[in-house]
Structure 1
């Protein structure tokens, strides 16, 4: 990963990092407050040689003394030194081993000074013990070093510094503990953020898409918390930044080199990624640009186009494919635009077979001759094969990916499903893209998306609008007179060219 990736991870998980850092500081503070204060008192003993009067003898004696100092340091915590201290001070509730845990000794390199340090919850007791241990060491070493045939020891220990009662405890070291707690909490927070990012397989930005496929990202639809209320944003609020995103998608689509083709399947890897709202809004945007557009609801499993646009959906594509009605009977113009909608009609038991039939192929060819752009809203790719079947007969498939919802494996599976049947992938459209934060998409100059919170798609379909009286009559007529509609268009009806 690059430095920018780590910065994005930190920005994305800063709350967790701060929280764990505070937890670390709080834990260190709690530990420090619950520990009993400990005081240290230190006394010092000087070791010297009493033998020799010449320079050579003194030098030899000094070498001997330095060699013995290490032995005396180790001798400080032994029972032979500590038992007299316990007896002299009347310490009945402690043993030599227990007292040894409080006592430590050291000697600086190339010196003959021994520092004796005692740690105790009482400052006065620590000083008293340190002085007593120093006195006991002085006496016991003199006895140990005195030879049987001599009255004096060649080594002399002198107490050169008495231990004083300290005013400030050495433990707990609150500033140090707080600093260590903050560092540990920060390290845990950063580690958690990196691990969370590595284990997160969801697609959250264009960088994740680019890591999976080389197909161009032709659109990014920003997240809109009100998308459920207004799925057809180009109708509800044409000046909304989300509307501008669909217009940008329209522009990018016109620049795609698809060998002169102009029919596109809008699909996704899984449901609820915004494919239907993308198909509808894209069709409206193309019609607003003066294109003659046919929007076909080819989702013969869960059709939504007629609900979004509020058109009659009782009869449609399935009825045309089985020859039950003529195309001109069910192709409906939407508003005053040059947009014509072919609903899905009744849900058949064999959607894949119908969409891959010769009748469907002939219908797509007819549309391609008579209109500028054909948009087909198809089912998701992973649950069923309908979209892959359609994509092979069109100019290409536009795969819709929901940011923060679709996983990398799902997108890879969707693209593989298309490539398996040699279908072209025209491009990728990201929906529900964050408008602020580290994963926000750069929408370009002038829109100011980061401050509005617009974008996204409707995860659920709105309630369909009541059909007009004329469309209700048309549906009843198609249901009660199947023989008439199967034989072709009613007398006096227009051809598709006349209608378009």
Structure 2
């Protein structure tokens, strides 16, 4: 994914990202409001070395170095039971030494001889009392220890209070603004993570790259999404200047390059699944080819759920299936539509064995007969994945055009459909992407295929 892909993902998932950010912000605010107040009081103690009044400068320097060496070990003494137990006893605290130690933190000053002891407590006065008591207890412990060892060294350590603890007036926690900010940041991070996860798990076609990676065939065209498509399905005939009509004419131009050098081009128009726009695509492509002066035959080979007759408003009770079983002649049921050289062969009676009829010798013979009368034959076939009809037909034709709906067809289904056609020695000549978004984050993800619709929008 490049930067544009990330931006597109974030725009597409903007609602999720904003929602998670708001949730995080609210959670941070709640945490900040319900967290008990906590106060901190600090006392500072200096570790000093008394080398005697007659000490030389060298001895004083050595004494100072000695103090810096021992002060780190003294920090651990501050939180030991040796120091804390007397504090608990003197103040009557209902705590163990471990519990009290959890409230205490220590740090060293920049010169390494000043120890800062900080006590955290819900009661500000109690925090100050404990901090001062720890300082006193620490000084006593260190002094007593040194008295037992004074013969082992020429230095005498002194603990000097530098700054006693005072009662704090403001709590250090909770910090409501900080809690809100952290909650918002965590929510934003969670939102971005969810957005990226949804992108990874979303197998629907989003860009032309998705289509090209799914099928080893070129993208022949794209048609924009139109909420009114069901009201005017034959857009090339009904609204010739509509951007969708122009899109079908662009598709016609690309399909013309797929015609065989000699003879009639026979193309199966199918899709991986239902409701992806294959019948509308086949019908409008056929009309657009007819406008160019080609002799065009559109065959409704979807013998299970035929749509062509209803799209064109013609009688479809008798048609292809009746021709294949020898009930009628093709000349009796094929119907001219419009004033040009465009004819429609409806599906006819719904048979019990569509796949057998479409793969029969009679179907092959019918296609050969129509080749003699037409320049191009468009066959509207059933979806590839639910049934085998389209795959069977692809062997009898120049090749198949796979129709995929943007943001609906999955790349897995598109790949599976192409593989099923190739498995029976059929050819996938190209893909057509329908229902291209005209608004939102994905409107620019399909190159120039949606430019007409975008101008309209």
> Which residue in the other structure is 1:458 paired with?
none
Distance 1:51 1:3, change over 3 A: same
Distance 1:450 1:167, change over 3 A: farther
Q: Contact between 1:142 and 1:153, CA under 8 Å: does it hold in 2? A: no
Q: Report how far residue 92 of structure 1 moved.
A: 4.7
Confirm whether residue 32 of structure 1 aligns to residue 36 of structure 2: no
Confirm whether residue 432 of structure 1 aligns to residue 435 of structure 2: yes
Give the 3-state SS of the residue equivalent to 2:377 in structure 1: strand
Distance 1:148 1:393, change over 3 A: closer
Distance 1:70 1:205, change over 3 A: closer
Distance 1:234 1:443, change over 3 A: farther
Q: Which moved more, 1:125-134 or 1:292-301?
A: 125-134
Distance 1:448 1:174, change over 3 A: farther
Distance of 2:282 and 2:88 partners within structure 1:
91
Distance of 2:409 and 2:74 partners within structure 1:
72
**Deviation sequence 1:169-216 (CA, Å, 0-9, x none):** 222233433333233222222222222112222222211111122311
Q: Report how far residue 419 of structure 1 moved.
A: 1.4
Confirm whether residue 289 of structure 1 aligns to residue 292 of structure 2: yes
**Deviation sequence 1:224-280 (CA, Å, 0-9, x none):** 222222222234433322222212211221233544442211111222211111111
**Deviation sequence 1:101-125 (CA, Å, 0-9, x none):** 3222222365211111111223333
> Which residue in the other structure is 1:19 paired with?
19
Confirm whether residue 316 of structure 1 aligns to residue 302 of structure 2: no
Q: Contact between 1:313 and 1:344, CA under 8 Å: does it hold in 2? A: yes
Q: Contact between 2:207 and 2:446, CA under 8 Å: does it hold in 1? A: no
**Deviation sequence 1:425-460 (CA, Å, 0-9, x none):** 22111111211223225574995523646xxxxxxx
Distance 1:231 1:145, change over 3 A: same
Distance of 2:399 and 2:122 partners within structure 1:
80
Q: Report how far residue 306 of structure 1 moved.
A: 0.8
> Which residue in the other structure is 1:256 paired with?
258
Distance 1:232 1:257, change over 3 A: closer
Distance of 1:216 and 1:65 partners within structure 2:
80
**Deviation sequence 1:62-94 (CA, Å, 0-9, x none):** 233223322322222234333443444x43534
Q: Contact between 1:258 and 1:426, CA under 8 Å: does it hold in 2? A: no
Selected match of 1:393 from 375, 393, 396: 396
Give the 3-state SS of the residue equivalent to 1:430 in structure 2: strand
> Which residue in the other structure is 2:208 paired with?
206
Aligned length: 451
Selected match of 1:375 from 374, 378, 388: 378
1:58-457 residue pairs with structure 2 within 5 A?
58-88=60-90, 90-108=91-109, 111-147=112-148, 154-260=156-262, 261-440=264-443, 442=446, 444=448, 448-450=452-454, 452=456
What's the TM-score, normalizing by structure 2? Answer: 0.91
What's the TM-score, normalizing by structure 1? Answer: 0.83
Give the 3-state SS of the residue equivalent to 1:62 in structure 2: helix
Give the 3-state SS of the residue equivalent to 1:115 in structure 2: strand
Distance of 1:447 and 1:208 partners within structure 2:
19
Q: Which moved more, 1:226-235 or 1:314-323?
A: 226-235
Distance of 1:58 and 1:446 partners within structure 2:
85
Distance of 2:391 and 2:314 partners within structure 1:
27
